[in-house]
Amino acid sequence: MEFRKRYKELIALALFATGGALLPGQSAQPSGPPSVPSIKDRLDAMMAGGKSAWTSEQIKTMEHLRTQAISDTYALDELRHLTDNIGPRLSGSPQAQQAVDYVAAEMRALGAEVTLEKATVPHWVRGVEKGELISWAGQTPGTTQKVVLTALGGSVATPPEGLSAEVVVVDNWEQLHALAPDAVKGKILLFNHKFDKELAAQGDGLNAYVGGVVYRGAGPIAAAAAGAVAVLVRSVGGADFRLPHTGMTQYAPGVAKIPAAAVTAEDADLLKDLTSQGPVKLHLTLTPQTLPDAQSYNVIADWKGTEHPEQVVVVSGHLDSWDLGTGAIDDGAGVVVSMQTLHLLKELGIHPRRTVRFVAWMSEEEGSEGAAAYMVDHNNEISNHVGAIESDLGADHPAGIYYAGKGELGQWLRPVSQVLDAIGAETLVSTPETGEDIAGLTAKGVPSFAPVQDSRFYFNYHHTAADTFDKIDPKHLNENAAVMAVLAYALADSQEPAPR
Ligand SMILES: [Zn+2]
């Protein structure tokens, strides 16, 4: 996941803070935390006893879907194949194409109507990535010291033999701003912003991430503007296992593109300590390549509606992943819990009145090119989209449903949340953003939704080599599948479409 919109706004703020101009079309107001309905609102909603959008027969179908999702191993088996057999699915890679073909075949096997919709995607490949201290206070003569790092997505390369430069460390934009004009010139600048572990521990991993990711995104621009020859950022993540976290970075027109890497939290601390004692020199080698853009696809699979086949409910996750791990929590899990929705409809012989459209989005991590292509290709059908769901915050226990759109959606969904109460997923939380790939639909007024996933641990592994199949708790994965299936059915079979 990237949550680019919020992150772009923060980058704009960061550029503003460092003396740059706001990016065109960007607001200076970051989105606030999700607003939780007051106790009074929730009590009112529960007591209202208004007309439900679903009959008791339909509620029974939701219960059936929930129960079946909890016991079925389809999502887990599909995830095992995507991660262990196919592996990392970086945009433009052969594995991404293999995943497209595999998921399309699986959906065809269920009897869904499958279309591959073209998207042109970036094709960046990682090369050698190596950091070593070559000079520092107290150095044992003749030795070097390893720095654990990984190139940021989209980074340009150093010369093949690497570059050597002194390291300057700042904790934030303000410290950069306070440096003497030439302090960073010809040097490697490290942004040492610490991930807010306490915020993540309280359950708000997403905002802890957004607080740090702005340095990953805007760091190269700010560093190059200050004259740096390369930039390092402290990994945006919560665990202390000396794991570097990759992720997309940004360059700006008119500002030099400099090599960019994430160092582990431990190595950021090391550099901070040593630079406080005297000059520190680092040798940095990064040899990524940006190849010509590649042709790729979103996988679309329609479970056709019986009454209004033209009306669509999107249920989705993104199929591409970073390359360090195998993309289990980000976002193989989102893809397979969405696949599970169609699988359960088939298994239970359920044919809602509207079309349930599974979408496996391509290239969310590197710019959401798949989602952008969808918005162009389906521009004339947006009003027929009655709802959109995306799961892209891992696979831990879902506490309920995020919704974006009309305020009354919360009350409208009460009967659905009562069905999900049995698996502890009964909360309904209003939010401005539900998922990066469905942000375009949300902006056009399509009611959109996401599971409220427990994000306390997600950012420990996010975008690292440790994002692997073993991180998936099968019970939690199935709870997410239940939320996706029940909600998708509810949206596709309600008497009237969801309020918009
Ligand atoms: Zn993701």
In this prediction, residue 172 carries a pLDDT of: 97
Q: Is the peptide bond before 377 cis (omega within 30 degrees of 0)?
A: no
CB 449 within 8 Å of CB 402: yes
Q: CA end-to-end span of the chain, whole Å?
A: 26
CA of 444 relative to ligand 1 center, distance in Å: 22
Condensed to tens digits (0 to 9), the pLDDT of residues 236-261 reads 999 899 999 999 999 999 999 999 99
Residues with Cβ < 8 Å from 167, sequence gap 6 or more? 187, 188, 189, 190, 232, 271, 275, 280, 281, 282
In this prediction, residue 203 carries a pLDDT of: 87
Helices (H), 352-402: 369-377
Condensed to tens digits (0 to 9), the pLDDT of residues 156-166 reads 999 999 999 99
Residue 364 falls in the annotated catalytic set: yes
Integer CA distances (angstroms), 349 to 316, 345, 496, in order? 21, 6, 22
CA of 393 relative to ligand 1 center, distance in Å: 7
Sign of CA dihedral 123, 81, 476, 459: negative
Which candidate in 2, 129, 364, 479 is catalytic? 364
Q: Which residues, given as ranges, of the chain have pLDDT below 70?
A: 1-50
CA of 141 relative to ligand 1 center, distance in Å: 45
In this prediction, residue 204 carries a pLDDT of: 87
Please report, to the nearest 10 degrees, the dihedral formed by the alpha carbons of residues 50, 55, 61, 67 taken in order.
30
CA of 90 relative to ligand 1 center, distance in Å: 12
In this prediction, residue 10 carries a pLDDT of: 52
CA of 261 relative to ligand 1 center, distance in Å: 20
In this prediction, residue 2 carries a pLDDT of: 55
**Paired sense of beta strands 129-135 and 281-286, if any:** antiparallel
Residues with Cβ < 8 Å from 319, sequence gap 6 or more? 89, 96, 99, 100, 103, 299, 331, 335, 360, 361, 362
In this prediction, residue 29 carries a pLDDT of: 37
In this prediction, residue 40 carries a pLDDT of: 54
Across-strand partners of 450?
A: 402
Ion ligand 1, residue ranges at CB < 5 A: 1, 330-331, 392
